A and B are shown apart, each in its own frame.
Chain A
Amino acid sequence: MIQLAEDSNVGGPGAADQGNGHSDTMAGRTIHVRVLRQDGPGGESYWERHAVPYEPNMNVISVLQRIAERARAEDGRQVAPVAWDCSCLEEVCGSCTMLVNGRTRMACSALVDRLLEEHPGEIELRPMSKFPVVRDLKVDRGRLFRALERVEAWVPVDGSYDHGPGPRISPEEQEDAYPLSTCMSCGCCLEACPQYTKIEVVQREGESAEEFERRRTAAYDRGFVGAHAISQAVLFNGHPTGRMIADERLQALTSAGGIQVCGNAQNCVAVCPKHIPLTRSIARAGRAATVWAIKRLFDR
């Protein structure tokens, strides 16, 4: 009746005129996929080839779904399905970041037709390289969320009880803040950043979960906070209430692993799927940090 999987797979929906030039010629063909797999943290990684029948309007997620369903490598060997993260499938939850044909991007918005145009013959999938691999294409991005704690990325309200509306905000301010607020914590900007290097902390034998967590957090806190967190600090320092703890954020941004680590390579802004003006945020944060440092010098 409505939008059955059957209808949309074979020729029907999407194939009509909605801009995928390959559909006719590709029908009945096979997509070759090369996946860099790893069975667990610290394990060896290895390549595995898969073959998936082409369907119009596919994205990398539907390719991975077919791989899971087949559970066989191209050579016919039975293999466990590839592990990966996804949720929204519309590029808004930030789950599905991976390296597709060498580029860091969201798997759900990576359309197969485009990929094949870029690179005929094969699609290559690898996990992000800046985060510890959990399994296959799934990585542990805990450090990215920890950075949001470091810069206190929140509005420090008194509480959730009624105090009337928030501050008046001009449309210009809203239009300034909104793009920064669409950051979905995907980590593309971190993957692309030359200054952001992998930190992998392994639990020691006999170490309790709490001890391990503490040690890992400390290690993360010595590393670079990353463009996403700098941009969040700028977002909240621009908010009339958020600004009330602006100094604390600047303090975080000027300590070890802070904004001074950024080499201004601008790789981050080029890969952000949400087109967040990261270099502008970094420049703003840089200026604010300088002013703050000088002010502190005089306050002493």
Chain B
Amino acid sequence: MAQPRVLVIGGGLAGLAATMRLAELGVGVDLVSLVPVKRSHSVCAQGGINSVNALTRQQGDNEWKHFDDTVYGGDFLQHQPPVKEMADWGPRIIDLMDRLGVPFNRTPEGFRDQRRFGGTLYKRTAFAGATTGQQLLYALDEQVRRYEVEGRVKKWEFWDFLEPVLDASGRCRGAVCQDLVSMKFKAFPADAVILASGGCGLVYGRSTMSMVCTGSAVSRAYQAGAAYGNGEFIQVHPTAIPGADKLRLMSESARGEGGRVWVPRTPQDPRDPRSIPEAERYYFLEERYPKYGNLVPRDIATREIFDICTTDGLSVEKDRLCVYLDLSHLPREMLDRKLGGILEIYEKFQGVDPRVVPMKIFPAVHYSMGGLWVDYERSATGGMEEGSIRNQQTSIPGLYAIGECDYQYHGANRLGANSLLSCIFSGLFVAPSVAGLATASRAGEETPRLFEASLRRQEERHEALLGRRGGQENPYALHQELGNLMTRVATVVRRNEQLAAAYDEVCVMEDRWRRCSLSDTGNWTNQNVVFTKSLGDMFPVAKLILKGALLRDECRGAHYKPAFAMPGIAATDPAGKRREAEAWCDRFEANTRKWLKSTIARHGADGHPQISFEDVDTSLIPPRPRLYGLVGADVIEEVWKERSRGAADDAPAATGAGRAVAAHV
């Protein structure tokens, strides 16, 4: 390996951004993907991508506020330096994508147009029609194609990543992958391997994610020893359209452009929604959250919609839980121009025109905040040190993770339009780290033998699967069972007894998986065996999600356990309110001390996840309570502010770092 060479697994936004930068830095890249990279899941992103911009800046916005919104939205469960770095890079990233030709929507004067997304008060979100993800992905795909023509990138499309290859010291030296057409195996020696394999929605059966979001690549890295962080934090999107094969997303931009969520005040009112008078409609988000209205953060919108249907019994339909998402009051021309693409999806798959009739929607599994644990090096200004080989490195040296498959940027809950940013950012940012490594590291003598052993292991696993006879289990049916179970117990509302029981059930399913038999035993484009393999790799991920959720006895972001919820204030008299607010803040502080920690799972030899907890770097912005819509929020906030002022006076050194950086920005 005279020339430095890096293996990138996955060609979504993250993988393509990394590939582009690496090629530019003169590093050769092998790019492996289950599907042609242009067909990666990132194409599904509709709404947009966040960053501070010239306009919001003049309204008082800045990178620090974007950073603050991100950590506040994420309930402070993310290390702050990487998030700060990402927010700082935001404007440059949008500029770059603009230069690459992304057809962002324009203002009459020819500037990029922006919209507002959940969890912020600023219009930070740049968008390209209703297919922003597709447009961003294509722009990167085009640049990578350019490098491919120049011979700097080699694509391996329709290939499956099977395992990282580690040397005796535990360093990653490459990987073994399989050609999904010829079913042949191949070793890919590399100076570094970057996983950019996206989310794991298929663990939940049906979700808003694409069929390739099996989480298999991440699971394989985890089983090879990589630590997994915050697995239990799974974002359930508030608004999806139910379907037999997929739960199709209705983007948050529908609400960003003025869509209103409501239910009839009369349960299951049989009237045509259009004929229900205003007074008989319950705009529950607007009433309960006057400040953010329909644009409350995702976890809150999801729980409210879920609750109004289950607890309050106000679902629009009886058999199928759903609420109205109404755009019918908005001008058709504006809807077509700004939301055309997503409205077509509704029309296409439901056969109803959402410009005329309110849509029916319900929450669905959407995004995985958790993912492979990755490292970073803090810079002097509180961001990330560019070029450090630690950035985005998993617990396996030489193995990196970026994009949705890392755990780094979104904490307990991701803000809308922040993921595309984190994907491109982590992709660009990892490149110099890995490029430095690529010239520094040299594989040892023993490496060829390692690859042979790894190839043999994978071939044997494959043959064993093909050779299974007389099993009773059908992998597709088993997958549905797993998905139903996970959706039932590990989404919006979580209860310990259910989680514990589900964990045991998943272990039983995993055993049953070993008895799955294949209906295709051939060795040519055998999708049956590929699916069955990836199903087998879903169980370790399901188990770490359940275990993490079970252990975390609190409510944080997307993780909600009613048994540990902190109710608002019941008292009505000022003194009583004050007393309760003090107690509330005490409890919040105690909870922060106990639970403001990332869940770290490691694959145990017995197949069970070994859980430990990692402290979170909150040195830049001290954690504060998320009080959206809580009864008595004002009193609690008052008490909280007094306390934080007091703390700052008492211990100037402790918050000094954060302040210095704040002044810098």
- Which residue in B44, B95, B348 is a CB contact (below 8 Å) of A162? B95
| CB-CB contacts below 8 Å: B467-486 with A | 474, 476-477, 480, 483-484
**A191 on the B face (CB < 8 A):** no
**In the complex, which of the residues A18, A62, A85, A141 has the most CB atoms of chain B within 10 Å of its own CB atom?**
A18
- Which residue in B99, B352, B493, B522 is a CB contact (below 8 Å) of A155? B99
Summarize A's interface: helix, strand, loop or mixed: loop
**In this complex, what residue of A is CB-closest to B212?**
A87
Residue contact B99 to A157, C-beta cutoff 8 Å:
yes
Produce 1/0 per residue, A214-254, CB < 8 A to B.
00000000000000000000001001011000000000000
**In this complex, what residue of A is CB-closest to B317?**
A16
Please indicate the chain A residues that have their CB under 8 angstroms from the CB of B322 in the complex: 13
- Which residue in A2, A6, A85, A156 is a CB contact (below 8 Å) of B363? A2
Residue contact A80 to B522, C-beta cutoff 8 Å:
yes
B593 to chain A, nearest CB (A): 32
**B380 on the A face (CB < 8 A):** no
**In this complex, what residue of B is CB-closest to A21?**
B351
Residue contact B44 to A62, C-beta cutoff 8 Å:
no
B600 to chain A, nearest CB (A): 28
Please indicate the chain B residues that have their CB under 8 angstroms from the CB of A152 in the complex: 146
Residue contact A3 to B240, C-beta cutoff 8 Å:
yes
- Which residue in B105, B112, B519 is a CB contact (below 8 Å) of A71? B519
- Which residue in B40, B206, B349, B527 is a CB contact (below 8 Å) of A5? B206
Residue contact B528 to A162, C-beta cutoff 8 Å:
no
| CB-CB contacts below 8 Å: B440-497 with A | 474, 476-477, 480, 483-484, 487-489, 491-493
Pick from B241-249, B275-283, B580-588 the stretch touching chain A: B241-249
Residue contact A69 to B143, C-beta cutoff 8 Å:
no
Residue contact A57 to B243, C-beta cutoff 8 Å:
yes
Please indicate the chain B residues that have their CB under 8 angstroms from the CB of A55 in the complex: 244
Residue contact B181 to A1, C-beta cutoff 8 Å:
no
- Which residue in B321, B474, B489, B525 is a CB contact (below 8 Å) of A138? B525
Please indicate the chain B residues that have their CB under 8 angstroms from the CB of A164 in the complex: 95
**In this complex, what residue of B is CB-closest to A140?**
B181
Q: Ordered nearest first, which 7 A-B pairs have the shortest CB separation? A: A71-B519, A19-B351, A166-B98, A154-B142, A80-B520, A168-B110, A69-B476
Known contacts A134-B181, A160-B20, A160-B24; is-contact A88 B95 (Cβ 8 Å): no
B80 to chain A, nearest CB (A): 23
**In this complex, what residue of A is CB-closest to B44?**
A88
Residue contact A5 to B106, C-beta cutoff 8 Å:
no
**In this complex, what residue of B is CB-closest to A87?**
B210
- Which residue in A1, A156, A241 is a CB contact (below 8 Å) of B492? A1
| CB-CB contacts below 8 Å: B138-152 with A | 138-139, 142-143, 145-146, 148-149
| CB-CB contacts below 8 Å: B235-258 with A | 236, 240, 242-249
- Which residue in B39, B95, B364 is a CB contact (below 8 Å) of A87? B39
Please indicate the chain A residues that have their CB under 8 angstroms from the CB of B205 in the complex: 4-5
Please indicate the chain A residues that have their CB under 8 angstroms from the CB of B24 in the complex: 159-160
Residue contact B206 to A165, C-beta cutoff 8 Å:
no
Extra A-B contacts (7), CB below 8 Å, given A18-B360, A90-B246, A154-B142? A5-B484, A87-B210, A145-B145, A156-B146, A165-B112, A174-B106, A185-B36
Please indicate the chain B residues that have their CB under 8 angstroms from the CB of A108 in the complex: 245
Residue contact A4 to B488, C-beta cutoff 8 Å:
yes
**In the complex, which of the residues A90, A135, A177 has the most CB atoms of chain B within 10 Å of its own CB atom?**
A90
**B135 on the A face (CB < 8 A):** yes
Residues on A lying within 8 angstroms of B by beta carbon are 1-9, 11-14, 16, 18-20, 39-40, 55-59, 61-62, 65, 68-69, 71, 78-81, 83, 85-95, 108-109, 111, 134-135, 138, 141, 145, 148-149, 152-157, 159-160, 162-166, 168-171, 173-174, 177-178, 181-182, 184-185, 236, 239, 241-242
Please indicate the chain B residues that have their CB under 8 angstroms from the CB of A9 in the complex: 244
**B218 on the A face (CB < 8 A):** no
A144 to chain B, nearest CB (A): 10
Please indicate the chain A residues that have their CB under 8 angstroms from the CB of B96 in the complex: 160, 162
Residue contact B525 to A135, C-beta cutoff 8 Å:
yes
Known contacts A90-B248, A157-B100; is-contact A166 B520 (Cβ 8 Å): no
Please indicate the chain B residues that have their CB under 8 angstroms from the CB of A87 in the complex: 35, 39-41, 210-212
Residues on B lying within 8 angstroms of A by beta carbon are 20-21, 24, 35-36, 38-41, 43-44, 92, 94-96, 98-101, 103-112, 128-129, 131, 134-135, 138-139, 142-143, 145-146, 148-149, 181, 205-206, 210-212, 236, 240, 242-249, 306, 317, 319-322, 341, 345, 348-352, 360, 362-364, 428, 474, 476-477, 480, 483-484, 487-489, 491-493, 519-522, 524-528
Known contacts A13-B320, A14-B244; is-contact A2 B134 (Cβ 8 Å): no
Residue contact A182 to B129, C-beta cutoff 8 Å:
yes
In whole angstroms, what is the CA distance A156 to B100 when docked?
A: 8
Residue contact A162 to B206, C-beta cutoff 8 Å:
no
Residue contact A239 to B428, C-beta cutoff 8 Å:
no
Known contacts A68-B476, A90-B44, A93-B43; is-contact A170 B362 (Cβ 8 Å): no
**In the complex, which of the residues A4, A153, A165, A171 has the most CB atoms of chain B within 10 Å of its own CB atom?**
A165
Residue contact A160 to B21, C-beta cutoff 8 Å:
yes
Known contacts A1-B487, A185-B38; is-contact A239 B101 (Cβ 8 Å): yes
25 pairs from A and B in contact (CB 8 Å cutoff)? A2-B321, A2-B487, A4-B488, A8-B244, A18-B350, A18-B351, A19-B350, A19-B351, A20-B351, A39-B524, A65-B245, A81-B527, A83-B527, A87-B39, A89-B243, A93-B38, A93-B44, A148-B142, A160-B96, A166-B99, A181-B138, A182-B341, A185-B38, A241-B99, A241-B101
Residue contact B320 to A242, C-beta cutoff 8 Å:
no
A159 to chain B, nearest CB (A): 5
In whole angstroms, what is the CA distance A159 to B25 when docked?
A: 10
In whole angstroms, what is the CA distance A19 to B241 when docked?
A: 14
Please indicate the chain A residues that have their CB under 8 angstroms from the CB of B317 in the complex: 16
**In this complex, what residue of B is CB-closest to A179?**
B129
In whole angstroms, what is the CA distance A277 to B112 when docked?
A: 24
**In this complex, what residue of A is CB-closest to B498?**
A1
Please indicate the chain B residues that have their CB under 8 angstroms from the CB of A160 in the complex: 20-21, 24, 96, 100, 143, 428
B122 to chain A, nearest CB (A): 19
Known contacts A154-B143, A154-B146, A174-B104; is-contact A62 B244 (Cβ 8 Å): yes
B376 to chain A, nearest CB (A): 21
In whole angstroms, what is the CA distance A3 to B211 when docked?
A: 17
Residue contact A88 to B519, C-beta cutoff 8 Å:
no
**In this complex, what residue of B is CB-closest to A145?**
B36
Please indicate the chain A residues that have their CB under 8 angstroms from the CB of B520 in the complex: 71, 80-81
B140 to chain A, nearest CB (A): 9
Residue contact B99 to A1, C-beta cutoff 8 Å:
no
- Which residue in A39, A159, A177 is a CB contact (below 8 Å) of B103? A177
Please indicate the chain B residues that have their CB under 8 angstroms from the CB of A8 in the complex: 242-244, 320
A47 to chain B, nearest CB (A): 19
Residue contact B236 to A2, C-beta cutoff 8 Å:
yes
